[in-house]
Homo-oligomer: A and B are copies of this chain.
Amino acid sequence: MVERILADRVREPSRTIGRGQASVNIALCKYWGKRNRELNLPFNSSLSVTLPGMDVETELLPGSGDRDEIELCGPGGTLPDDAADRVSGFLDLFRPRPDFRFRVRTRSSVPPAAGLASSAAAFASLVRALDDLFQWRLGPRELSILARLGSGSACRSMYRGVVIWHAGVRNDGMDSFAEPLNIGWEALRIGVVMISASRKGVGSRPGMDHTVETSPLFACWPETAERDLAAILGALEARDLERLGVAAECNALCMHATMIAARPPLVYWTAQTVTAMRTVWELRRAGCPVYFTIDAGPNLKLLYAAGETAAVRRAFGEIRECAPLAANE
């Protein structure tokens, strides 16, 4: 597939350094489960908002020696053992000759592997850096397909704002790409409740494979997610926070339910996750319209309107807050 995208662009680097940047994205309709593991082709389409300010920057240079040099810096300290191998395996797709080596320097403002989609931003920024180094000058759709090959949800980090990732139906994945939807919503806030920034027990990649293989409830997921996506899109177009929040919350819980039913079970929640969920429901009962989503980790991401920031901070303390759709209006 890479060949179909790069065509006659495979060549030695055009520049001495390539640079790329991308932000993490939070899925409101989740990606969970691959119909093709090698190409990261999903069972269902998904939808996210990109969080400006939670960024990964990558510098890419031709390397020397007999292996890639991969340096990943971020607030979370060292990356998982397999992160460098995974990056190197991804770079295999792009070497102009078999003995070509890369130097990769990545700086992240996001703790890795805490369910904050740092790998999505990392692979999206790496693909931008590749495009810059080799001067491919690919369009964003092609870049999103290349990013998908590194980490499925990375294709959504190729854009700002609301992004849809079309699952596609083709076996070669050429119709499984991300595209932005031009939806502005000045008042929408996303707040990250950091319950734990430590490494989660099971990464989302093995987690979703395990769920697909063993969860007796997974068969019901893809169709549910497609229905949720339509509801979430409608709510975003109508700027209807309640419809958006309810649909996103249910979609996240449905995804977690498929994991909880996996065998052995996969429970990303901690006691504090359940406490935080209950706090959100208490806030709603008290008249404060706030909703949550949860990725493959213990942390909650809250959805609310700008006017509720003070109430949310009273309930949750310091949260990291974004206005992800303000720039699109």
Contacts and interface: CB of A to CB of B under 8 A. Distances in A.
Contact of A217 (B217, B227, B269): B217
Interface stretch (A14-22, A31-39, A250-258): A250-258
Contacts of A265: 249-250, 253
Interface stretch (A127-135, A155-163, A169-177, A270-278): A270-278
Contacts of A274: 267, 269-271, 273-274
A89 interface: no
A261 interface: yes
Contacts of A224: 216-217, 261
Contacts of A256: 260
Contacts of A271: 271-272, 274-275, 278
B267 A261 contact: no
A319 B275 CA distance: 24
A263 interface: yes
Range for the number of chain A residues in contact with chain B: 20 to 34
The complex is assembled from copies of this chain, and their number is 2
A7 interface: no
Interface in A204-221: 216-217, 219-221
A256 B258 CA distance: 10
A271 B271 CA distance: 4
Contacts of A272: 271
Contact of A267 (B223, B250, B267, B277): B277
Contacts of A278: 267, 270-271
Interface string A166-188: 00000000000000000000000
A253 B249 contact: no
Contacts of A223: 216
A49 B12 CA distance: 70
A115 to B, nearest CB: 16
Interface of A: 216-217, 219-221, 223-224, 227, 246, 249-250, 253-254, 256-258, 260-261, 263-265, 267, 269-275, 277-278
16 contacts: A216-B223, A220-B220, A246-B264, A249-B265, A250-B261, A250-B263, A250-B264, A250-B265, A254-B260, A256-B260, A257-B258, A257-B260, A267-B277, A267-B278, A271-B278, A274-B274
4 closest A-B pairs by beta carbon, nearest first, are A271-B271, A257-B257, A257-B261, A216-B224
